[in-house]
Amino acid sequence: MSISTLSLTRFPGSISGLLQVASLLSLLLLLFKAAQFLLHRQWLLKALQQFPSPPPHWFFGHKHQELTPLKEACPAVTHLCHSLYHHADLTSVLAACHYCLCPKKFCPLGSLHQEFHYLSILNCPHSPSLIAHSLMHTTIYDPGYGLLLLNGETWFQHRRMLTPAFHYDILKPYVGIMADSVRVMLDKWEQLIGQDSLEIFQHVSLMTLDTIMKCAFSHQGNIQLERNSKSYIQAVGDMNYLFFSRARNVFHQNDTIYRLTSDGRLFHHACQLAHEHTDQVIRQRKAQLQNERELEKIRKKRHLDFLDILLCAKMENGSSLSDEDLRAEVDTFMFEGLDATASAISWIFYALATHPEHQQKCREEVQSLLGDGASITWDHLDQMPYTTMCIKEALRIYPPVPVVVRDLSTPVIFPDGRSLPKGFMVTLSIYGLHHNPKVWPNPEVFDPSRFAPGSSRHSHSFLPFSGGSRNCIGKQFAMNELKVAVALTLLRFELLPDPTRIPVPMLLPVMKSKNGIHLHLRKLQ
């Protein structure tokens, strides 16, 4: 009895002792992380001493200049760029609260604004940013790794494996498929022409999805007429917005916490919808390849389509792609081929609508080349120089992917002798570069002559598809689709802006408008 009583009296004391030990360990861990952060901060400040900049905040560096509402993001970036270009060519960002709370993603960050910086960064060994890599893998691509997230030798193997899917012999017949998809969209627009202004982004998204499904994934139906396609496009749009929103919220970096939030649940639902669509695409093609006739067609092809390459691929060790990596590659190309291309086409239409004199010059060029547009071929695409100039100028003002983030795998030495150390995370603001008055005089003015044949500019002053070894693998596919869409649309409609609904650009992973892109359409006789 006395032993039992003694044990009970000691039990509370044991709990108290454990709490004291736990508190001490927590305090030591906090001190360790604080010391780790301070040492890293000192290392960062030393690395950035050679780059002059405006006076930073003692805690956030220049981060406080970038923390603006999404709807104000473009004007804020433009204002920031103009102010920084007078003082500096690198913005140091010491996001103390973010990286201290997320030590596994601890990394210094800088924003570069000069074209020679982009040349040095994009041509040196680098990898996707740790933060973007972690967030995208644990949410969008989990459990596989696509070309966007792979590194090193595995990335090189996948890139080399997929490059033949964009050989010009493969891309040539795609022009006819693209034209058919654009005509379906334009036919729908004719039925809606009696309405007020038309929000074009959703229509363009359906068209680009239809195109990518037929060209890269051998789809036989018509996506633009299928109801469930809209839910997929909505899911991709939600993922785009929520991913960016999560990246800006320090408390949402933790996967467990994020899944408990309303945004986290919505993001998970959007990912499920997107993955179900991808899985269905893969299943359908696998089923088709069970047919001996379909297999015989593939054997006779000199170059395979994107999905057929993935399904027939053998890695260097002789193994096929895992189901997870296969889905991740399809997701990557589907998202980019749908969302980024739809963004580019929509903003090009808006730029032409707001500059009618350039729109008319493009129309006259296309009419002289295509007549009534009954047929458009691969050879036509290189015979519309002024239209191409206008497309490129619109991509400069409204880059479809406004920001690229990279982690330096090796130290980088710039041509002027300054350098950045290994482990430095750099945000390459494509939007900022394209609106840099030192790179592009009067950057807000729509001036297609900047891209006139023979005009001189730095090789890395115009990067709508990024640059270097990790540039967009489908950039030629995308440019072909932009030209086809613009040419056929201008033959059928005059594009006019809606002055009551001016688009509000948002710097998301893909450039979007907060209130949509509304245009008036006038049918040409």
The larger pLDDT score, comparing residue 471 to residue 135, is at: 471
Question: Around 164, how many Cα atoms within 13 Å sit in the side-chain half-sphere?
Answer: 14
Has residue 25 been placed in a domain? no
3-state secondary structure of 200: coil
Mean pLDDT computed over 290-307: 74
pLDDT of residue 60: 59
Q: How confident is the model at residue 488 (pLDDT cuts 50, 70, 90)?
A: very high
- pLDDT at residue 80 in the model: 47
Looking at residue 358, what is its pLDDT? 98
**pLDDT score at 160:** 84
Which comes out higher in pLDDT, residue 319 or 154?
A: 154
Residue type at position 447: D
The reply to whether 472 sits in an annotated binding site is yes
Would 255 be classed as within a structural domain?
A: yes
Alpha helical stretches, state H, 218-340: 228-247, 255-260, 262-288, 292-300, 306-312, 323-335
Which domain, by its residues, includes 478?
A: 151-397+441-523
Give the CATH number for residue 297: 1.10.630.10
DSSP assignment of 136-174 equals HIIIIITT---TTT--HHHHHHHHHHHGGGG-HHHHHHH
Number of separate domains in the chain? 1
How large is the average pLDDT for residues 317-333?
Answer: 77
Instruction: Give the model confidence (pLDDT) of 377-435 as tens digits.
Output: 999 999 999 999 999 999 999 999 888 877 777 888 877 787 878 877 777 888 888 98
Instruction: Give the residue among 133, 149, 136, 140 at the shortest CA–CA distance from 271.
Output: 140
pLDDT higher than 60, residue 218:
yes
Of the chain, the percentage scoring pLDDT greater than 70 comes to: 77
Q: Which of 6-20, 60-74, 240-254, 510-524 has the highest mean pLDDT?
A: 510-524
Where are any strands of DSSP class E within 306-380?
Answer: none
Answer with the residue of higher pLDDT: 271 or 95: 271
pLDDT digits (tens, 9 = 90+) for 45-92: 777 777 666 666 666 555 555 444 444 455 555 554 554 444 434 433
Angle at 412 between CA 90 and CA 110, to 5 degrees: 30
Residue 216, CB half-sphere, CA atoms under 13 Å: how many? 31
Segment 117-137 shows an average pLDDT of 57
Kindly report which listed range (259-268, 310-319, 454-463, 500-509) carries the lowest average pLDDT score.
310-319
Q: Is residue 370 part of a domain?
A: yes
Q: What are phi and psi of 110, to 5 degrees?
A: -140, 155
**pLDDT digits 0-9 by tens, 360-387:** 999 999 999 998 877 899 999 999 999 9
d(CA 437, CA 432): 10
Confidence of residue 98 (pLDDT cuts 50, 70, 90): very low
* Average pLDDT, rounded, for the chain: 79
Residue 23: inside a domain: no
pLDDT of 460: 83
More confidently predicted of 65 and 264: 264
Kindly report the pTM of this predicted structure. Answer: 0.82
363 lies in some domain: yes
> Is residue 257 assigned to a domain?
yes
Whether pLDDT at 177 is above 90: yes
Q: What is the pLDDT of residue 389?
A: 97
430 in any annotated domain: no
Least confident of 34-38, 50-54, 313-317: 313-317
- 347 is written with which tokens? 């903003």
Per-residue pLDDT at 321 exceeds 50: yes
Residue 44 C-alpha from the chain's centroid: 28
Tell me how far apart the alpha carbons of residues 306 and 322 are, in angstroms, rounded to a whole number.
Answer: 16
According to DSSP, the β-strands at 493-497 and 425-429 are unpaired
pLDDT value for 96: 28
Segment 466-484 mean pLDDT = 89
For residue 481, give the amino acid letter.
E
CB < 8 Å & 24+ apart, contacts of 162-168: 162/306, 162/309, 162/310, 162/329, 162/473, 163/473, 164/303, 164/304, 164/309, 165/216, 165/303, 165/304, 165/305, 165/306, 165/309, 166/473, 166/474, 166/476, 166/477, 167/303, 168/378, 168/476
Does residue 317 surpass a pLDDT of 80? no
Task: Identify whether 93 is part of a domain.
Answer: no
- At 395 the pLDDT is 97
In this predicted structure, the answer to whether residue 180 has a pLDDT above a threshold of 50 is: yes
CB 189 within 8 A of CB 523: no
pLDDT of residue 89: 43
Q: Label residue 144 left, alpha or beta by phi (over 0 means left) and psi (-120 to 50 means alpha).
A: beta
Average pLDDT over residues 323-339: 83
